[in-house]
Structure 1
Amino acid sequence: MTPTPRHVPVAIVGGGQAGLSVSYHLTQAGIEHLVFEARTAAHTWATQRWDTFCLVTPNWQCDLPGHPYDGPDPDGFMRKEEIVAYLAAFAAKVNPPIREGVTVRRAEPLAAGGFSVRTSDGDYTADEIVVASGGYHTPIIPRMAERLPSSVMQIHSNQYRNPGQLPEGDVLVVGSGQSGAQIAEDLHLAGRRVHLAVGDAPRCARFYRGRDVVTWLADMGYYEMSVDDHPLRDGVRDNTNHYVTGRDGGRDIDLRRFATEGMRLYGVLDGFEDGCLRFRDNLRSSLDQADRTYNGINAAIDKHIASRGIEAPAQAHYAPVWEPEAPVTSLALAGSGIAAIVWCIGFRPDFSWLDASVFNGAGRPKHSRGVTVQPGLSFIGLPWLHTWGSGRFGAVGRDAEHIARVIQKRLGADRFALRFAV
């Protein structure tokens, strides 16, 4: 006889900071729920970050529900072990009804309303599902990787921990977003010879005119701008993050300066043919565009300072310290000295376990601040779900509060609050 599925009003899929934030607000509203986490709460910060990883936004922006940063360095940048401790303390405060080690294998709408939820630990039904598993699921490694010789070690950025795990020799880092630029720097500072295939990621200053750029942008209201008010609208969700670092108290990442110190820069890696790595002839334009963004952000800060009569030290705009010479579009792998490749070209979303007509052609959910057209289905923790901070510690709590209010209204949750009070 097939066991009757257990019913839970709200199923939260994912036990990271987003899922825990929703759990916090549902608990405040007295709404019964379960959090399903395939591994352990907030595990990715401990298991999928390199040893010297740190935040790129100041600690004061960490403001999870009921758990703002209260450490000794609000203008600093938490290191990996501090982030893990911060999240462990948050999980302890929330004390969520979490099922760790339980994978949601399939979820689909029921004809009578609500959802069927099949897990590795039995079947459930739910009135509401909140997908809090983020959007970074499947590491992207191009098909060309299959043709590379087995003598070259290949890992993805989520597997990189430190230079010592890689074999002796040169290292090719593919991609110059936040992970790629910071991993390239980590290797470079360790004395490794680095080859970096540069992408189209923009960059920004760490500090400008006496303050952290994030602090200036917060004062300018940038982090309160919703996706609906952004000039790019939904397109901003596809933007690559600016590269910068909070390492050693925070600094710019300047790929041109790395080049003067021996790092070899190339354009986008396009393929591998006849034993040669093939690169696009776009290194100069990529560096120039990154610098235009850098100086453009600083110019916006200048305008803000001038319009409000703020006293701030003058600072010149960035001028390039290195220019590429003749482009290198082909590099024989055998003679390059490259012993390892770190792929830093991102992730694909994988919501294949969820049967719902809410996804676009790229497999990303369509929603309005996380709420989809499928009754009872919401998402949280995605980049630019509502504002820039939606995928970060800064604003995910506000998104969680919004989702919880929508759920409370849909469930008529006064009945839950009454039952919990008895």
Structure 2
Amino acid sequence: MSVPSPEHRSVIVVGGGQAGVSTSYWLKRRGIDHLVFEKRTAAHVWSTARWDNFCLVTPNWQCDLPGHPYDGPDPDGFMKRDEIVAYVQAFVRKVDPPIREGVAVTRATRRSGGGFAISTSDGDYTADEIVVASGGYHTPIVPRMAEKLPKTIAQLHSEQYRNPDQLPEGAVLVVGSGQSGCQIAEDLHLAGRKVHLAVGEAPRCARFYRGRDVVAWLADMGYYEMPVDQHPLREGVRDNTNHYVTGRDGGRDIDLRRFAREGMELYGVLEDFEEGRLRFRENLAASLAFADRTYNGINAAIDRHIAETGVDAPPPSVYEPVWTPPAERPALDLAASDISSVVWCIGFAPDFRWLDVPVFNGAGRPAHRRGVSEVGGVSFIGLPWLHTWGSGRFGAVGRDAEHVVATIAERLALRRPRLGVAV
């Protein structure tokens, strides 16, 4: 009995979020046959891995998925979680991608005769091209130190946090001060919970400055169009922690010093738990100072832009600290603190183990130029700073997808010039 050949497509897209659906949009425009595999449901992360009060930190006008720009009533506002879900779901319906939900890709390898063999939870497939559109945030990071904490302490990762009522009574330790950590700490603080925050080396920026959203100023200055190879840090910018700020309640700064003045307890980086005590690095003052320097530095760049262009704007200002740590606190007795829960907000690790193709650099990260890898037939979409600041966001992921699909179309035309494939 002959074994049936695996189902073949010109392109297989792995991941059904906004990156994968954007890729499908451009593939459909070019008439290129393809499939999108999504191990859960399309764009599920926005509804399943965000807290109740989550909102965008960039204004709605920056939401510009292909063929689906934001057209709501508040372009300068910040969509809340349910609005984001509705926006992305409408995009999926509009594109109507050939998506197979609930299908996980378990392995992809190069075939000796060309193209790729793809194993999935739904069987085997082959393809001429693979687009990895699953992003870079796959595995929640929780340190092994967490195993030392008493079993009575509730522990969640940021993707599991929903609201303050979800946690047991008592104080909460939030670990990490990136966007998620600061916003979750604020969510708990506003709800009246006692919060202890382990502060990392994350930068911050103003929400509004000199009469406008800082994002609007930076857009005018061309920051969001700067390709990664022109950034002062080059590819090193991909390692940077995002600036903390919020779009909550119409948008405002997040000032950890103000939170401390209001009763939030701040510490340096959490390093260990030993003999009933949490141990912290003595870097709180330095971390707060770094965040403030970044804040003032961005504002100073806006000042220069205003001076150079002659734009009429309110006068400049410089942030002055409203609170200074009285002393570094290297340790905290867990029982005496009344901490009953910990929310880990230290990010995610990528997991590309299923992709058995030599497309990774010495650090184990995809090596590519604007999403196109050096191995013909493998592309990436939706990674942070894949090409510009907006590559992993609604603002530019569609443009990156268009570029990748154009490259794919050229390669398919060269491989199959006589088949009449629409490219």
Question: Does 2:238 correspond to 1:237?
Answer: yes
Instruction: Note if contact 1:31-1:416 (Cα within 8 Å) is conserved in structure 2.
Output: no
The residue identity in structure 1 corresponding to 2:222 is: G
- The alignment of Structure 1 onto Structure 2 pairs a total of residues equal to 421
Q: After superposition, what is the alpha-carbon deviation per residue over 1:217-236, rounded to whole angstroms, capped at 9, x for unaligned?
A: 00000000000000000100
Instruction: Note if contact 1:350-1:363 (Cα within 8 Å) is conserved in structure 2.
Output: no
State the match for 1:7 in structure 2. 8
Question: Does 2:292 correspond to 1:299?
Answer: no
State the match for 2:72 in structure 1. 71
Q: Kindly tell me: are residues 112 and 189 of structure 1, through their superposed partners in 2, closer, same or farther at Cα, counting changes over 3 Å?
A: same
Q: Kindly tell me: are residues 417 and 47 of structure 1, through their superposed partners in 2, closer, same or farther at Cα, counting changes over 3 Å?
A: farther
Tell me how far apart the structure 2 counterparts of residues 416 and 72 of structure 1 sit (CA, whole Å).
49
User: How far has the Cα of 1:358 moved from its partner?
Assistant: 1.4
State the match for 2:247 in structure 1. 246
Q: After superposition, what is the alpha-carbon deviation per residue over 1:6-44, rounded to whole angstroms, capped at 9, x for unaligned?
A: 111000000000000000000000100000000100000
Instruction: Note if contact 1:30-1:417 (Cα within 8 Å) is conserved in structure 2.
Output: no
User: How far has the Cα of 1:364 moved from its partner?
Assistant: 1.4
Q: After superposition, what is the alpha-carbon deviation per residue over 1:326-357, rounded to whole angstroms, capped at 9, x for unaligned?
A: 11101111111000000000000000001011
Identity, % of aligned pairs? Answer: 73
Tell me how far apart the structure 1 counterparts of residues 418 and 168 of structure 2 sit (CA, whole Å).
57
Instruction: Note if contact 1:29-1:417 (Cα within 8 Å) is conserved in structure 2.
Output: no
| The 10-residue stretch of structure 1 (405-414 or 213-222) with the greater mean CA deviation from structure 2 | 405-414
Tell me how far apart the structure 1 counterparts of residues 252 and 358 of structure 2 sit (CA, whole Å).
44
Tell me how far apart the structure 2 counterparts of residues 58 and 229 of structure 1 sit (CA, whole Å).
25
State the match for 2:92 in structure 1. 91
SS in structure 1 of the partner of residue 323 of structure 2: coil
State the match for 1:154 in structure 2. 155
SS in structure 1 of the partner of residue 369 of structure 2: coil
Q: Kindly tell me: are residues 168 and 361 of structure 1, through their superposed partners in 2, closer, same or farther at Cα, counting changes over 3 Å?
A: farther
SS in structure 1 of the partner of residue 230 of structure 2: coil
Tell me how far apart the structure 1 counterparts of residues 154 and 365 of structure 2 sit (CA, whole Å).
31
TM-score scaled by length of structure 1: 0.98
Q: After superposition, what is the alpha-carbon deviation per residue over 1:144-179, rounded to whole angstroms, capped at 9, x for unaligned?
A: 000110000000000000001100000000000000
Tell me how far apart the structure 1 counterparts of residues 290 and 277 of structure 2 sit (CA, whole Å).
27
State the match for 2:222 in structure 1. 221
Could you tell me which runs of 5 or more consecutive residues in structure 1 were left unpaired when the two chains were aligned.
none
User: How far has the Cα of 1:89 moved from its partner?
Assistant: 0.6
Tell me how far apart the structure 1 counterparts of residues 379 and 266 of structure 2 sit (CA, whole Å).
42
| The 10-residue stretch of structure 1 (190-199 or 352-361) with the greater mean CA deviation from structure 2 | 352-361
Tell me how far apart the structure 1 counterparts of residues 103 and 241 of structure 2 sit (CA, whole Å).
32
State the match for 2:404 in structure 1. 403
Q: Kindly tell me: are residues 376 and 349 of structure 1, through their superposed partners in 2, closer, same or farther at Cα, counting changes over 3 Å?
A: same
SS in structure 2 of the partner of residue 129 of structure 1: strand
Tell me how far apart the structure 2 counterparts of residues 181 and 353 of structure 1 sit (CA, whole Å).
33
The residue identity in structure 1 corresponding to 2:56 is: L
Q: After superposition, what is the alpha-carbon deviation per residue over 1:380-417, rounded to whole angstroms, capped at 9, x for unaligned?
A: 00000000000000000000000010000000189799
User: How far has the Cα of 1:420 moved from its partner?
Assistant: 6.8
State the match for 1:122 in structure 2. 123
State the match for 1:177 in structure 2. 178
Tell me how far apart the structure 2 counterparts of residues 4 and 13 of structure 1 sit (CA, whole Å).
21
Q: Kindly tell me: are residues 95 and 416 of structure 1, through their superposed partners in 2, closer, same or farther at Cα, counting changes over 3 Å?
A: farther
Q: Kindly tell me: are residues 153 and 416 of structure 1, through their superposed partners in 2, closer, same or farther at Cα, counting changes over 3 Å?
A: farther
Q: CA RMSD in A?
A: 1.4
The residue identity in structure 1 corresponding to 2:185 is: A
TM-score scaled by length of structure 2: 0.98
Q: Kindly tell me: are residues 419 and 330 of structure 1, through their superposed partners in 2, closer, same or farther at Cα, counting changes over 3 Å?
A: closer
The residue identity in structure 1 corresponding to 2:392 is: G
User: How far has the Cα of 1:375 moved from its partner?
Assistant: 1.1
State the match for 1:332 in structure 2. 333
State the match for 1:285 in structure 2. 286
Tell me how far apart the structure 2 counterparts of residues 54 and 405 of structure 1 sit (CA, whole Å).
33
Task: For 1:18-97, list aligned pairs within 5 A.
Answer: 18-97=19-98
User: How far has the Cα of 1:142 moved from its partner?
Assistant: 0.4
Instruction: Note if contact 1:41-1:100 (Cα within 8 Å) is conserved in structure 2.
Output: yes
Task: For 1:346-385, list aligned pairs within 5 A.
Answer: 346-385=347-386
SS in structure 1 of the partner of residue 406 of structure 2: helix
Q: After superposition, what is the alpha-carbon deviation per residue over 1:280-315, rounded to whole angstroms, capped at 9, x for unaligned?
A: 110000000000000000000000000011110013
Instruction: Note if contact 2:413-2:421 (Cα within 8 Å) is conserved in structure 1.
Output: no
Instruction: Note if contact 2:30-2:422 (Cα within 8 Å) is conserved in structure 1.
Output: no
User: How far has the Cα of 1:113 moved from its partner?
Assistant: 1.0
